[in-house]
């Protein structure tokens, strides 16, 4: 509880920093590179975006093509029907006007009547046939006089033909035949087709562009979900995908967010249980020495407050907290009579006590989750000027977490009663901390420590620990 108070009083870790923390962790793990590699690793022709866009583009082209063919066919049939009506109209005109001359076998009158119809550009031929099948007059003069024993012949290719019987008092005395060419129909259809190709091509192109854009929009949702799954695979349980749509992707996204929330809650519970176990273990160590009651909690709380001032991300703060709680775990390997001994220690006992950082480091190193913490514990008695132990490291050679714990550990030791002396006054302890700046302690941390003191953070943490201990 005092740790949470320290984080709150020291400014905590802001939401924006949490985002930066996640990004830095992902970069450190190589996730950003993996994500880019994942995108590049999918060939264009195998990507979902391409498949969706091409599928709908082909469908659009099919629809446009079918529409084009249907329109052309409609125009061809319509113009053909109109040509058929025109042929029938001309045949009717010829039949009506040629009836009397045909009965009179007046070739002089039949010729002009037939030729008047043949003058139209689209008329290929016109002829009159008597009831015996003989061609009385044909616009193609070489065919006049030909006998058509099988009746009216089928029209040649590219001609629409209409024939109409010439009736006199219910008796067929002949047949009027007119053939209309289809060239004009073909020209009209070609003209229409050419006129449609450019607009349809432009429309299809814009449609395909729209399909690719829409495919990109919808596939982007799947890609965001994929990135979130990758982040989850790298252990980022803060990931959340925003998608309020009600389609399948939206539902899948909401299920994914729910799963992540449940995993996050479960991990939080595991972390709480772990911290409670560690705290209980630290309390058990402190039970060997009544004078150090609450020491680990105070060191942890103030250390986290310093780490927050340094804008450490949450992962580093958790490591710092664990190291601060367990910094004296190695004392379990020191002879019981030495820990808590009243009076000064002998030279051999001092050497035994100096061994507790490495003992604690070896104990913690056996736990995979605490291997980094074990390094901080090993060096928490190193001095900034290199006069500490166990390795005599100096300045930046000492892990930052170890430098923080060393400063806070020394201050708490000075301000609490010990078997060999009474607690120093707060003013005396602060004065010694200032005197040790650049020698025993990191000057930067000393400045931040005094800033926390001025803000009342250190005193508040100590009071909260005291209240929690009852």
Cα end-to-end span (Å), the chain: 14
For residue 130, which phi and psi values (nearest 5 degrees)? -80, -175
Residue 76 has pLDDT above 90, yes or no: yes
- pLDDT tens for 36-49 read 334 445 676 777 77
pLDDT tens sequence across 324-338: 988 888 887 777 666
Provide DSSP, 338-378.
TTT-SSPPPHHHHHHHHTHHHHHHHHHHTSGGGHHHHHHHH
Residues 96 and 102: their CA atoms lie apart, in Å, by 10
**448 or 213: which leads in pLDDT:** 448
To the nearest 10 degrees (0 to 180), the angle between helices 443-455 and 457-469 is: 70
Q: Per-residue confidence at 15, pLDDT binned at 50, 70, 90?
A: very low
Is the model's pLDDT at 31 over the cut of 80? Answer: no
Which residues, 6 or more positions from 220, have their beta carbon under 8 angstroms from its beta carbon? none
Please report the pLDDT score of residue 66 as a whole number. Answer: 94
With cut-offs at 50, 70 and 90, classify the pLDDT of residue 342.
low
For range 277-285, the mean pLDDT? 70
Q: How confident is the model at residue 341, as a pLDDT? A: 64
Q: Is the pLDDT of residue 19 over 60?
A: no
> Out of 67-71, 161-165, 416-420, 424-428, which region has the weakest mean confidence (pLDDT)?
416-420
Asked if 433 and 449 touch (Cβ cutoff 8 Å), the reply is yes
> Which domains does the chain show, CATH number per domain?
35-233 (3.30.450.20), 274-469 (1.10.3210.10)
pLDDT at 340: 63
Average pLDDT over residues 1-9: 46
SS3 306: helix
118-128: pLDDT as tens digits:
888 889 999 99
- Among 2-6, 24-28, 153-157, the range scoring the smallest mean pLDDT is 24-28
- Binned at pLDDT 50, 70 and 90, residue 35 comes out as very low
DSSP 247: S
**What is the rounded average pLDDT of the residues 386-398?**
93
CB atoms within 10 A of CB 420: 12
| Higher-scoring residue by pLDDT: 361, 18 | 361
Q: How is 367-426 classified by DSSP, letter by letter?
A: SGGGHHHHHHHHTTT--TTS--SSS---GGGS-HHHHHHHHHHHHHHHTS-BTTBPPPPH
Residue 230 has pLDDT above 70, yes or no: yes
- Give the pLDDT mean for 124-149: 89
Q: Is the pLDDT of residue 175 over 50?
A: yes
Query: Phi/psi at 54 (nearest 5 deg)?
Result: -65, -40
Whether the predicted pLDDT of 28 surpasses 70: no
Give 342's Cβ-side CA count (13 Å radius).
Answer: 1
**Euclidean distance between CA atoms 211 and 240, whole angstroms:** 28
pLDDT, tens digit, 9 for 90 and up, residues 422-450: 788 889 999 999 999 999 999 999 999 99
Residue 70 pLDDT grade (very low, low, confident, very high; cuts 50, 70, 90):
very high
Strand order in the sheet with 123-130: 135-138, 123-130, 171-181, 159-168
């Amino acid at each position: 509880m005092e740790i949470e108070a320290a984080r709150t009083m020291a400014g905590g870790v802001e939401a924006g920093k949490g985002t930066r923390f996640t990004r830095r962790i992902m970069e450190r793990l190589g996730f950003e590179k993996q994500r880019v590699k994942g995108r590049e690793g999918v060939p264009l022709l195998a990507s979902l975006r391409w498949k969706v866009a091409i599928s709908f583009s082909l469908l659009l082209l099919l629809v446009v093509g079918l529409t084009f063919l249907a329109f052309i066919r409609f125009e061809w049939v319509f113009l053909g029907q109109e040509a058929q009506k025109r042929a029938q109209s001309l045949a009717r005109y010829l039949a009506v006007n040629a009836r009397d001359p045909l009965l009179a076998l007046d070739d002089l009158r039949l010729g002009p009547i037939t030729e008047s119809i043949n003058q139209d550009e689209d008329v290929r031929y016109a002829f009159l046939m008597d009831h015996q099948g003989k061609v009385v007059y044909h616009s193609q003069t070489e065919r006049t006089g030909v006998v058509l024993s099988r009746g009216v012949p089928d029209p040649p290719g590219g001609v629409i033909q209409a024939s109409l019987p010439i009736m006199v008092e219910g008796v067929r005395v002949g047949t009027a035949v007119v053939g209309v060419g289809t060239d004009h129909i073909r020209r009209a259809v070609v003209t229409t087709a050419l006129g449609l190709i450019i607009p349809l091509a432009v429309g299809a192109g814009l449609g395909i562009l729209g399909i690719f854009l829409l495919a990109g929009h919808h596939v982007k949702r799947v890609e965001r979900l994929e990135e979130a799954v990758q982040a989850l695979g790298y252990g980022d349980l803060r990931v959340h995908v925003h998608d309020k749509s009600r389609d399948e992707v939206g539902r899948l996204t909401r299920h994914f967010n729910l799963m992540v929330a449940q995993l996050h809650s479960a991990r939080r519970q595991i972390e709480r249980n772990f911290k409670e176990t560690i705290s209980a273990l630290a309390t058990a160590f402190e039970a060997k020495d009544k004078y150090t009651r609450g020491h680990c909690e105070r060191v942890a709380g103030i250390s986290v407050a310093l780490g927050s001032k340094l804008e450490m991300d949450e992962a580093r703060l958790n490591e710092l907290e664990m190291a601060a709680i367990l910094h004296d775990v190695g004392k379990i390997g020191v002879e019981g009579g030495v820990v808590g001994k009243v009076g000064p220690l002998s030279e051999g006992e001092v050497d035994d006590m100096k061994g507790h950082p490495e003992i604690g480091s070896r104990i913690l190193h056996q736990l995979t989750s605490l291997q980094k913490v074990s390094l901080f514990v090993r060096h928490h008695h190193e001095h900034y000027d290199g006069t500490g132990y166990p390795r005599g490291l100096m300045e930046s050679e000492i892990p930052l977490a170890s430098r923080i714990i060393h400063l806070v550990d020394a201050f708490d030791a000075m301000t609490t009663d010990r078997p060999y002396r009474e607690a120093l006054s707060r003013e005396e302890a602060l004065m010694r901390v200032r005197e040790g700046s650049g020698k025993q302690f990191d000057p930067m941390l000393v400045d931040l420590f005094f800033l926390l003191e001025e803000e009342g953070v250190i005193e508040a943490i100590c009071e909260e620990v005291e209240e929690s201990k009852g």
